[in-house]
Amino acid sequence: MRPSILTCLLCTLFASVVHADGADGTIDGTYGSVFGRAVVSDFPDAPEPGPYLGAMAVSDSGRTWLFGEYNIIEATASLPIARLDTLTGALDPAFGGGSGLVSSPYPIAGGTWFRDLSAVVQPDGKPLIAGRVRGPGSDRGFVCRLNVAGNFDATFGTDGCVTLRAFAFANERCGIEAIALGSASGGITVVGHCDDVDATALQAFTARYTASGQLDTEYGAGVGVTLPQTSGSALHYLRALQVLDDGRIMAVGSAHRNDQFDIALLRLSNDGTPDPTYGDNGHLLLAVDLAGGFDDIGTGVTVRPGGRVLVMGTAEGSNQNGEVVLWQTSVDGVPDATFGDAGLAFGAEPMETAFESPTQLVAYKARMRLSIDDLGRAVVMGRTGPAAAQNDDVRVFRFTQNGRRDLTFGEAGRGVVDVDNDVSLPGPGASDDIPTFILAQRTRILIGTISVRDSKRHMVTLALTAAHLFRDGFEAEGN
């Protein structure tokens, strides 16, 4: 089919789903019930002021799962869950006895504070959640599997959950930062970090579990866990990963060298060993140094269909302000000269880079999110800088294939959408809105946020329109 004919067909298809009066980045008023938003504020038996939105995941069957977490003050051993219709944002009447809400007690003995959650949904509809739990003696990573009804799946691990020690240190605190499916054996891969209780050392780890919740002895030299290293630096954090079709793993985080953090990108073989065909024996380090000597933190990674690797991070500036940075490499780890400036692209808008919100404890990994739609457009999300307003909002960017901000998206000339949920929340004053989840699709972008107003916590989801075609040849194959 000639390109001109294909383009006409695509334009005809998308014309039926684009709102005539809304550019890409417009809040979809047909989603949710409160000014284009779905707001979940109250759960059965939940302590006030309610849970944060800890993690969000979307199933192949069109259901959106929301998982709550608490801070240490009102820590509880129950997991708040909401299930929504992904298309409409309505609470699922087939879940939670018609309410769409469930609170399920964690089956981990002695666990008192479950936090830093991440989630994914298996093809059979069962969700997996991972994070950090405070148990007797110390913090541990954990992975749990739920049934579609929201109760813990007793066929996984012990009563539905497993806990993890990485044995990076004799006396360690550990937590899982991200979870992914897709290994050749059908296993579950996680990344995270541990800190030494007796010193100031930190160490990143990876681990793989079987589908039944056992550490995979075909990974990590028979123990199921690896402690990756990066040359000339100390790999302190891994915060995101993607498992490739052949079982290899791309992971991103931060390595410490010369008294600052640099973005660390790793590719591991399907047995957990460094892949020598990528970068410097399986890894690359990037020092952006936006303001000279500040930290650069890797927060997201995805692999394009042709094998190019796209990384998202934040380049820290002064006064806890920084910028979104995108970094793209070839399949073998060479900076992609066709993307941005020698493989680098910047958001060029101030972003908050503080590790903790002034009003609540939130994992730093939840601040920045990356997704690619099925046209290959990169969509990234973070928080506005504190100088932008009295309250923090969610900031969404869209980038073209060559790493330029897509100025047809959002506010004209910026390629940015600032999402403020004040209009949808009860109570006086401004809200703090903190990004938790983003999923870019062909016709819309699904977003989940933590929103706090008058000390009350709300889980908010919304959709931005995103159906307009690219204008720089992005429809070509090989994105």
Nearest residue to 230 (alpha-carbon basis) of 204, 248, 208, 250: 204
- Supply the mean pLDDT for the chain: 87
The confidence score (pLDDT) of residue 4 equals 39
Q: Are strands 63-69 and 78-85 parallel, antiparallel or unpaired?
A: antiparallel
CA–CA gap between residue 228 and residue 278 (Å, rounded)? 14
Give the model confidence (pLDDT) of 80-91 as tens digits: 999 999 999 999
Residue 136 exposed, middle or buried by CB count within 10 Å (0-12, 13-18, 19+)? exposed
Give average pLDDT by consecutive 10-residue segment, the chain, 479 residues: 37 35 86 98 91 96 97 87 98 98 97 95 98 93 99 98 98 97 86 95 98 97 98 96 96 94 97 97 93 84 95 78 90 97 89 44 52 90 63 87 91 86 91 91 92 94 82 35
- DSSP letters spanning 249-294: EEEEEEEEETTEEEEEEEEE-TTSSB-TTSTTTSEEEE---TTSS-
Give the model confidence (pLDDT) of 6-41 as tens digits: 333 333 333 333 333 468 999 999 999 999 999 999
Nearest residue to 322 (alpha-carbon basis) of 289, 299, 300, 344: 289
User: Residue with structure tokens 């790793």?
Assistant: 266
What the chain holds in terms of domains, given with CATH numbers, is 21-465 (2.130.10.10)
CA–CA gap between residue 173 and residue 140 (Å, rounded)? 6
Full-model pTM: 0.90
How many CA atoms lie less than 13 Å away from 459 in the CB half-sphere?
Answer: 28
Query: Residue 90: which region, alpha, beta or left (left: phi > 0; alpha: psi -120 to 50)?
Result: beta
Residue 199 exposed, middle or buried by CB count within 10 Å (0-12, 13-18, 19+)? exposed
